Amino acid sequence: MTEKTSTRKRPRGSKAVEVAKSKRDKPQLGTIITTKTGVMIRIVPVAIHLIDEIMYEIKDPEIPMQHIEEKSRDEPNPFDKQYLKDVADAEHERGIAVSDALIWFGVDLVDGLPEDDTWLKKLKWFERRGKFSLDGFDLDDEIDLEFVYKKYFVVSGRDIVMIGSASNMNEAEVEGALRGFQGDEGKDSDSSSEVEESA
């Protein structure tokens, strides 16, 4: 029987970031592109078994039972409204987790983190206005800081699609990751451009 997933919002610290802390050396192969914010990145295919493992870790909820009077027994009810909502939440959480993995393992910063921390000041400006939260990230840790820079300032939906395609993900998996990226805390595919244009 499948274990039921919690419906609470996931912590801001990503599982992909936690894994990355033990794998600081990343491959330096792949296509180099310039993002919408003018940052040069190298697209690196992500191991499909890593993506599969991340998706597997987020379980579908258990199908609830309902009592059928005519049959005097309990039967599964896959049409239960709360169950359907929990399934949708699990799918969304998988999309976020996979997009986070694509961002961390599939994007190399050609020039590394910028010495100028203006980008971080802009993100904190947005955070103060309730746009999103950086809770769960240790901004004094180089891994967390790099992930935050990639996710909230560098990567767009177009890049997620490119990395997913380069990683041999199928169309449905890429679409799920894109929805997770766009829907994470109200983030849209051009949110990095919005931060870039704000002061």
pLDDT for res 66: 94
pLDDT for res 14: 59
Chain CA centroid to CA 6, Å: 18
pLDDT for res 20: 54
Query: Distance between CA 44 and CA 163 in Å, rounded?
Result: 7
Domain ranges of the chain: 15-197
Of the pLDDT bands very low, low, confident and very high (cuts 50, 70, 90), residue 17 is low
Q: What's phi and psi for 16, nearest 5 deg?
A: -60, -35
Cα dihedral 136, 192, 29, 169 sign: positive
**Mean pLDDT, range 180-191, rounded to an integer:** 60
pLDDT for res 147: 95
Of the pLDDT bands very low, low, confident and very high (cuts 50, 70, 90), residue 1 is very low
Question: Which tens digits make up the pLDDT trace of 80-123?
Answer: 999 999 999 999 999 999 999 999 999 999 999 999 999 999 88
| Res 26 pLDDT > 60 | no
Q: Are 94 and 176 a contacting pair, CB within 8 Å?
A: yes
Q: What's phi and psi for 31, nearest 5 deg?
A: -75, 135
| Res 193 pLDDT > 80 | no
| Res 16 pLDDT > 70 | no
